[in-house]
Structure 1
Amino acid sequence: MTVSVNSPVWQHVNKQRTVKHVGTDWTSWCIRCCRGKDTVMALLWRRLKLVVTVMMVNLFIFIIIARHNSQDKNGHKVRIPSKPFWNKLVASPAYWNHQQQILDLHNNPILGANYSDADLPWANDTSLTSDPCQPNSRVTTQVKDYNSLPARFKDFLIYMHCRSYPIMVDQPDVCREPPFLLLAVKSLAPHFDRRQAIRQSWGKAGVIANQTVVTIFLLGNATAGDHHPDLSEMLHYESVRHKDIIQWDFRDSFFNLTVKEVLFLEWIQTRCTSAQFIFKGDDDVFVNTYRILDFLKGLSEPKARDLFVGDLITNAGPHRDKKVKYFIPESMYIGTYPPYAGGGGYLYSGVVAARLHNVSQHVALYPIDDVYTGMCLRKLGLAPEKHKGFRTFNIEVKYRSNPCAYKSLMLVHPRTPQEMIQIWAWLSSPNLNCQ
């Protein structure tokens, strides 16, 4: 039997097929939608996990840094001060330390702003007259053992605040041609033979190794009270003849070498600001000027600007033995010394010289000049540098007669006038072979 496509039976079959087909497509679409939602949720979940992980890592790093910042280099926890930062200052029992405390208070606006005169009555030193170069008689009661101190201490303490002395002999034109190297030699009036040996050897002024070198000798006044013979006329002739003597009217004693130091720094700023480098030393040393010039020409600009080299002395303090030349009683100074270069001789730049001049006004005079220079450097925040070419404590005996032993050195102490001339002749000889 044939059934027509238009018959009710056939139409019923087609209707069932259509319903079945539509149902199948709807199920597939629902499945696809559900699967898409699962994918989106999985993606969102992964992103959430990533964000949480990053946050946890950052939190962990923050905790580590916070713990690190709360500890010092030794691993100890830093404690926040519970008391005021500015503790009340107490006057030092040692006279020099006390005078330095007063200078620090007067020259430091931060300290001055935190204390009044009523807070620190000891900081107002009323023992000085309007002229600091007048004898300070009050010091005899301020230093507890003053009466038992040697005469050199009494003399220093009475005139400790005086920094200005008349100049007796000057050489205003000595630096007319700007020197590359200024050789400043501490000397005494009777030491003519040493000065003459230096003029004939390592202190020979003029052009050396294509550089201008100027030599001057720094003198005080050799007073009759120290039993020096009167050599004023001879000194006058020497000054006219060589034009290299600078002399001030102060007592030329061991403890007044610091006075000579501050007067020389002032002299540089008025007469020889053009000096690029300065060697300052004693008149019983040998200086290898050739080696110094080679050393200076090889310096970089920053190194040359802040230069201060010599025979460095560290971890030192005052001698308490009265038999030692450098004896300092506890009534005068307590504490250790800053690093300093031995006074036999050291080398520094003209820039450092100007800075030392300025800062020296804020450092109380101390009776040992090389220690005092170290104090000024400490105040500047500069550290003197050790150079093995400076031998202020001599060299081994077996090398002293060997010309080649001096070729790489800058300074040797001590040497007699004859030895200076001999060593200079060795170094100046074109036949010297030190291979």
Structure 2
Amino acid sequence: MQPVMPSWPELQRFGTNWRISGSLMELSIGPPCSHPCSCFSASCGKRRPRMFGSVNKTKLLGVMMMVNFLIYILVEVTRSYGRSDPTKPHMPSKEFWKKPELSEAYWNRKQQHLDYVRNPLIVSSTVHASSAPVDETSQTTDQPNHSTKAKHCKPDFAITTQIKDYNSLPQRFKDFLLFMQCRSYPILIDAPYVCSETPFLLLAVKSLTLHFDRRQAIRESWGHAGILTNHRVVTVFLLGKTTESDYFPNVSEMLRFEASLHGDLLQWDYRDTFFNLTLKDVLFHDWIAENCPSARFIFKGDDDVFVNTRSILNFLGGLSATKERDLFVGDVISNAGPHRDKKLKYYIPESVFVGSYPPYAGGGGYLYSADVGLRLRNISQYVSLFPIDDVYIGMCLQKLGLVPEKHQGFRTFNIETKYRENPCTYQGLMLVHPRSPQEMIQIWSWISDPGLNCQ
């Protein structure tokens, strides 16, 4: 059986009319009517669809389909560019790191410079280009003085033109700023044998030359060196140099006698002032790294505090290895900032420092592991000296990514008056500030009494 294929329509003329004929359709096309109404008249015959209208619609439909197709192609191309290609590196639209705008405050400027030269990306590229050691590359005229052989560090008088209100600053601030770049001084009195046997706990006490009575009271109470609760405890006192210009009497001979008698004094050849307590921290960490690296824990505090050494040892004995590694506990102060009143002891001018302080432990005393002590020593080389020592240690901890832990046993702001004469009050504490030499000896005798019952 042969398939019947539809034939194409043929166009034929019948007089004045054209007819399309074929197997699919037949359509007669006559001349257009002269009047709209005549399209329905007898002379015009029945209304016929107009061929040209259909052709225009077909063209319009084709154009619309073509436009839709082009839009589809554009959308797909855009999507393909939006997809991430794992084989190609992704470039961020903004800079990941850039040098910050230079601060107007002097300390902040110095710290920005140290942060800049310590940046591993910058140091690595500089070292690769120059083939110089990292230490040599990072050393600039703005770098602190780290030379252990320097006998005298000269004042930097250029600083007087770098701080707009330098001439109006208190004298103690001027003195600090002039020697701010100096952090290495020769040692005058050493204690080379204090760590001859590995200490479990090293007590480092900040003291002044004239405080003979405080040091002796500590030796006879909470700072007594030897074995305590099966752990070895050693004590050192950290001193600077008092000068006649500060109206101190010359007691250097008495100090040397004390050092020979007890062998626990460390004295450096720098001016011992309140703002130089930070320098005392830096020098001590250098000393312990070289002379007592085997110490496991370090307590560092002032010579007017009482410390319950037994309570500290009990606390340390219960630490895990992880907790021990990052240990730094004390009376932590958070959300603090500089004082702007010139009459205050802790006054910091805006021309020197702007910003808030990181969390820090009160300088009356805090406890940390030797591992943290070593890290503090290393990072302090890249933190500009700050005139408040406990804030400075907080800055160093922040650079290490550590936050000091607050412990209720540290009472650097004393305890309520009604509890101060109760021996049992001190049993659960680690530190109380302040206490006189007489009070230290008395409290130690209270808590050392085997008959004391605090249940």
Q: Deviation digits for residues 109-143 of structure 1, max 9, x if unmatched?
A: 3255799xxxxxxx997578998922111100001
- Which one of the candidate residues 111, 118, 141 is aligned to 2:161? 141
- Which one of the candidate residues 97, 101, 105 is aligned to 1:90? 101
Residue 174 of structure 1 aligns with which residue? Answer: 194
For the pair 1:404 / 2:424, whether they are aligned, the reply is: yes
Q: Is the 8 A contact 2:110 2:142 kept in 1?
A: no
Q: Deviation digits for residues 311-353 of structure 1, max 9, x if unmatched?
A: 0000001011111100000000000001000000000001111
- Which one of the candidate residues 437, 445, 448 is aligned to 1:425? 445
Residue 374 of structure 1 aligns with which residue? Answer: 394
Residue 233 of structure 2 aligns with which residue? Answer: 213
For the pair 1:164 / 2:184, whether they are aligned, the reply is: yes
CA-atom RMSD in angstroms: 2.1
Residue 324 of structure 1 aligns with which residue? Answer: 344
Closer, same or farther: CA 351–88 of 1 in aligned 2, 3 Å: closer
Residue 414 of structure 1 aligns with which residue? Answer: 434
Residue 174 of structure 2 aligns with which residue? Answer: 154
Q: Secondary structure at the match of 1:367?
A: coil
For the pair 1:347 / 2:358, whether they are aligned, the reply is: no
Q: Is the 8 A contact 2:144 2:183 kept in 1?
A: no
Q: Secondary structure at the match of 1:138?
A: helix
Residue 112 of structure 2 aligns with which residue? Answer: 101
Distance 1:226 1:272 in 2: 32
Give me the TM-score of the superposition, normalised by structure 2.
Answer: 0.74
Residue 232 of structure 1 aligns with which residue? Answer: 252
Q: Which runs of 4+ in 1 moved over 3 A?
A: 80-88, 111-115, 123-132
For the pair 1:183 / 2:194, whether they are aligned, the reply is: no
- Which one of the candidate residues 307, 310, 328 is aligned to 1:287? 307
Q: Secondary structure at the match of 2:233?
A: strand
Residue 34 of structure 1 aligns with which residue? Answer: none
Closer, same or farther: CA 271–87 of 1 in aligned 2, 3 Å: closer
2:300 alignment partner AA:
K
Closer, same or farther: CA 87–269 of 1 in aligned 2, 3 Å: closer
Q: Secondary structure at the match of 2:248?
A: coil
Closer, same or farther: CA 82–356 of 1 in aligned 2, 3 Å: same
Q: Is the 8 A contact 2:99 2:116 kept in 1?
A: no
Q: Is the 8 A contact 1:391 1:412 kept in 2?
A: yes
Residue 25 of structure 2 aligns with which residue? Answer: none
Displacement after TM superposition at 1:203 (Å): 0.3
Displacement after TM superposition at 1:83 (Å): 3.7
Q: Is the 8 A contact 1:313 1:341 kept in 2?
A: yes
1:395 alignment partner AA:
I
Q: Is the 8 A contact 1:107 1:362 kept in 2?
A: yes
1:85 alignment partner AA:
F
Distance 1:330 1:94 in 2: 6
Q: Deviation digits for residues 22-63 of structure 1, max 9, x if unmatched?
A: xxxxxxxxxxxxxxxxxxxxxxxxxxxxxxxxxxxxxxxxxx
Displacement after TM superposition at 1:107 (Å): 1.1
Total equivalences in the alignment: 350
For the pair 1:312 / 2:332, whether they are aligned, the reply is: yes
Give me the TM-score of the superposition, normalised by structure 1.
Answer: 0.77
Residue 269 of structure 2 aligns with which residue? Answer: 249
- What is the correspondence of 1:32-111 to structure 2 with a 5 Å cutoff? 82-111=93-122
Distance 1:246 1:358 in 2: 21
For the pair 1:263 / 2:274, whether they are aligned, the reply is: no
Displacement after TM superposition at 1:305 (Å): 1.3
Give unpaired runs (5+ residues) of structure 2: 1-90, 127-137
Distance 2:348 2:142 in 1: 23
Distance 1:427 1:394 in 2: 18
Closer, same or farther: CA 112–171 of 1 in aligned 2, 3 Å: closer
Q: Secondary structure at the match of 1:361?
A: helix
Distance 1:129 1:293 in 2: 37
2:179 alignment partner AA:
Y
% identical equivalent positions: 66
1:277 alignment partner AA:
F
Residue 381 of structure 2 aligns with which residue? Answer: 361
Q: Is the 8 A contact 1:102 1:124 kept in 2?
A: no
Give unpaired runs (5+ residues) of structure 1: 1-79, 116-122
Closer, same or farther: CA 409–159 of 1 in aligned 2, 3 Å: same
Greater per-residue helix proportion: 1
Distance 1:282 1:188 in 2: 10
Q: Deviation digits for residues 153-186 of structure 1, max 9, x if unmatched?
A: 1111110011110100001111010000000000
